[in-house]
Amino acid sequence: MKKTTNYLLLTVALLFSTVIMAQSTITGTVLEQGINMPLPGANVVEKGTTNGVVTDFDGNFTLKTKSSSGEIIITYVGYTSKTISFSGDSSLKNVTLEPSQVGLETVQIIASVAVDRKTPVAVSTVKAADIELKLGTQEFPEILKSTPGIYTTKTGGGYGDAKTRIRGFQSENVAVMINGIPVNDMENGAVYWSNWAGLGDVTSTMQVQRGLGASKVAVPSIGGTINVITKTTDVEEGGSVFTSIANDGYEKYGVTYSTGLNDKGFAATVSAAQTSGNGYVDGTEFTGVSYFVNLSKEINDFHKISFTAFGSKQRHGQRQNRQLISTFENSERGRKFNADWGYKDGQVLHQEDNFYNKPQMSLNHYWTLNETTSVSTVAYASFGTGGAGGTAGDNKFGFDNTGFSEYRNGLYGTIDFDKIVDENIASGANGSTTALRASRNDHNWYGVLSTLKKDLSDDLVLLTGLDYRNYKGIHFSEVSDLLGGQYLLDDSDVNNPNNPLQVGDKRSYYNDGLVGWLGAFAQVEYDVTEDFNTFLSAALSNTSYKRVDYFNYLDSDPLQETDRYNFLGFSTKGGGNYRIDNNHNVFVNLGYFEKAPDFDAVFQEFDNEHINENAENQKILSFELGYGYRSEKLTANVNLYRTTWKDRTETSSFQQPDGTNAFANILGVNAIHQGVEVDFIYKATDKLNITGMMSLGDWRWANNVTDVQILDEDQNLISTVDLFIEDLHVGDAAQTTMALGANYKLSPKTRVIIDYNYFGNLYADYDPSERGTAGAPDAWKLPDYGLFDAVVSHGFDFGPFDATLTGRINNVFDTEYVTDAFDGTDDTALVYFGTGRTFSISAKLKF
């Protein structure tokens, strides 16, 4: 018996040792091909088994196999899988996965995508899957609201009317780039998200680089850079159909199809969607059609080309005018109240609306000269047509402090356009006394951006290139509705005075803004050691402005067209990232640049005679220090920043007592923005991720300004004032934000997400007409508020197709809050209320 037992023990020991000897340890790092960005969360599985691991935040993995030899399969969503053979213990070092979209790596080179723990900037990246999961009926930039330093609102609540601020800087000073192409307005730097209403459907990655960022091109990245990378075309054939329904009649339908990459190296993807609804806010009905086309061709091993076209044609009603808090409280419609719409002949008519179509087309060429040298070039064009509605003639659209107006249907009621029509008809040959107009801002924009990348050695990379842009902005006001009259008399055109206008005729002003841009840039990336990465970049640009005025000057007058006025700008920035060990890294960056003054700073009085040809460049100095921690369970970042801004060009829009809008060109103002940001992701279990962030800012105006001109909507001078704003808090963005979220995976295809966002230290935007005396109090401070959002998503097989159902609720507890305000007190501030509880349900079927 004892002998038998010994044999059994020996057999077990031999079997055990055989198993131990049969195991192998495989290590490696999974990176994205082309830019060598780590791919955290990639699946590494031993083929034929369920044995596997996922990569950490740096793309590293260690897999103990069950066999001494065999194959492992590496997969990551949005990338082609890779199968690798192994025999015994192996170090695979760097394993690169190709994006499953043809030509994506080409776009990322042009777009200056930052690499975690290597590029020394504060960065947050949102993938397509997260956008699809959380966006719903929110505006596209609202997907960033849990990102440190960012404040995004819907403003008046109209479709596409969102505004985004980074570290207290408005969109004019936040660079927005789509596939590396700058899209900020060439005259004033603004970004109009309604022009890109369908962008969420076709985005592959959205990366926010806070501060000066990693962009090589000279762009207005004072607050930061929003880098949007659209989809190109998929390697494999397939597509999807999707639909959404939501509150207030929201409906959306769309389809995407990709041919896949054929044997001749050609691939195509097309996508289209239609969206419509009534809007949460009264009188903000909307309709939009978005479209996207990508054609890619791999000519040979050295040349690839890709053509992309996308855009969104939309029209929507707006809530342009802010109101007193008491007005919202007294109205039966509460926070949904909107004074800017009514009925004409029983049909909805908007006093204020917006309509635009801005297709953007680009042709990318990627040329591999040799193993160390490549050239990426994109030629692009966009043609914008559209504008925003408003009133012309006598203003009959206001109401008194009780909500009464003879031109409204009851207290705080809708506009009675029929009464205005009757009055205009009664005026007969005298024409319309009140009409509707549209302020048009059409444009034609062309550009070429080319980047040469040269690996000078294994540790040294040079990137250099040219940036050319040519822009023509076409600005005029036109009659959109005579409201029953026979004509609208206008005396603004010296070439055709006392002109009885019909619908579609130009009125009030008509001018072109011509902007030229030529820039050169260079960047050196040097890996001092494997763990110490540095970069130094410089850019030089010349901006030229020219103005043509068709109304204020006779066609025979040489003053109708100005000379070109040139302004030289430059930037230089550098930084380094040091990975102390596998867990800790620190980085620092420093930059200084001079930005050309905006178009309106040169032509301050909207004529061709009073020209500020010596307008000062805007001067920006920025410093940032960051720390990062990475482990299997936790990733965390801490950033400290300080930005000083001198000779700032500021255009402040505000609402006059009669309800019409005015604006001020403010030159020579200085500001200081500084703060600290913290964010983290904690992997509590294999199923639960906890996310959080905190951003504490201190943003203030640094000086007073004299001789500020205030103009009305028709560009007429109203008054000249002095501004006493030194030490005033910068308004229009929450200086304290916090977020906490939980993402729980109930099953491999089912997850629940809960997010909480808090916004505090939010100050009103000051009113230039009310800051003319010293000693005035700080800007009005809005009440702090917090919002809960929830998402449930479930995937399942629907026959041969993959299907997904997603439900979302934003502002779960229907919190009432104010998002934007003009200066005043609790009783006098003019405000926008935020959106209450909303929901959406969407379905997607992949084929």
Q: Is the distance from CB of 569 to CB of 541 less than 8 angstroms?
A: yes
Burial of 215 (C-beta count, 10 Å sphere; 0-12/13-18/19+) = buried
Residues 349-356 have a mean pLDDT of 96
pLDDT, position 76: 78
| Residue 741 in this model has a pLDDT that exceeds 80 | yes
Task: Give the β-pairing of 25-32 and 90-97.
Answer: parallel
In angstroms, what CA-CA distances link 244 with 129, 202, 750, 797, 839? 16, 16, 19, 19, 10
Euclidean distance between CA atoms 776 and 724, whole angstroms = 8
Of 216, 230, 231, the C-alpha closest to 449 is 216
pLDDT, position 17: 47
Euclidean distance between CA atoms 585 and 576, whole angstroms = 10
In the beta sheet, which residues pair with residue 244? 252, 842
pLDDT, position 41: 72
Look-up of token digits 């109090």: 777
**pLDDT, tens digit, for every residue of 259-273?**
988 888 899 999 999
Euclidean distance between CA atoms 241 and 239, whole angstroms = 7
**pLDDT, tens digit, for every residue of 222-270?**
889 998 888 776 667 889 999 999 999 999 999 999 998 888 889 999 9
User: Which is higher by pLDDT, 28 or 430?
Assistant: 28
| Residue 175 in this model has a pLDDT that exceeds 70 | yes
Q: How confident is the model at residue 20 (pLDDT cuts 50, 70, 90)?
A: very low
Mean pLDDT, the chain, rounded, equals 89
Residues 721-732 have a mean pLDDT of 89
pLDDT, position 660: 65
Burial of 179 (C-beta count, 10 Å sphere; 0-12/13-18/19+) = buried
Q: How confident is the model at residue 401 (pLDDT cuts 50, 70, 90)?
A: confident
**pLDDT, tens digit, for every residue of 448-487?**
999 999 999 999 999 999 999 999 999 999 999 999 999 9
| Residue 441 in this model has a pLDDT that exceeds 70 | yes
Residue 97, φ and ψ in degrees, nearest 5? -110, 135
Q: Which of 189-193, 204-208, 813-817 has the highest mean pLDDT?
A: 813-817
In the beta sheet, which residues pair with residue 681? 635, 691
pLDDT, position 405: 94
Q: How confident is the model at residue 585 (pLDDT cuts 50, 70, 90)?
A: very high
| Residue 31 in this model has a pLDDT that exceeds 90 | no
| Residue 195 in this model has a pLDDT that exceeds 80 | yes
pLDDT, position 18: 44
**pLDDT, tens digit, for every residue of 774-827?**
888 899 999 999 999 999 999 999 999 999 999 999 999 999 999 999 988 999
| Residue 7 in this model has a pLDDT that exceeds 60 | no
| Residue 77 in this model has a pLDDT that exceeds 80 | no
Q: Which tokens hold the place of 650?
A: 């500021």
pLDDT, position 21: 47
User: Which is higher by pLDDT, 176 or 654?
Assistant: 176
Residues 362-376 have a mean pLDDT of 94
| Residue 104 in this model has a pLDDT that exceeds 60 | no
pLDDT, position 443: 97
Euclidean distance between CA atoms 228 and 362, whole angstroms = 14
pLDDT, position 82: 86
% of the chain with per-residue pLDDT over 70: 91
Least confident piece of the model among 411-425, 443-457, 702-716, 811-825: 702-716
| Residue 611 in this model has a pLDDT that exceeds 80 | yes
Q: How confident is the model at residue 102 (pLDDT cuts 50, 70, 90)?
A: low
Euclidean distance between CA atoms 33 and 221, whole angstroms = 27
pLDDT, position 643: 96
**pLDDT, tens digit, for every residue of 298-315?**
999 899 999 999 999 999
pLDDT, position 15: 43
In the beta sheet, which residues pair with residue 572? 538, 592
User: Which is higher by pLDDT, 205 or 677?
Assistant: 677
E strands present in 394-529: 415-416, 434-455, 460-481, 488-490, 499-501, 506-529
| Residue 81 in this model has a pLDDT that exceeds 90 | no
pLDDT, position 565: 97
In the beta sheet, which residues pair with residue 447? 380, 469
User: Which is higher by pLDDT, 767 or 178?
Assistant: 178
User: Which is higher by pLDDT, 488 or 99?
Assistant: 488
Q: Which tokens hold the place of 452?
A: 């040469």
Q: What is the DSSP string of 577-640?
A: EEE-SSSEEEEEEEEEEEEPPPHHHHSTTSSSSS--TTPPPEEEEEEEEEEEEE-SSEEEEEEE
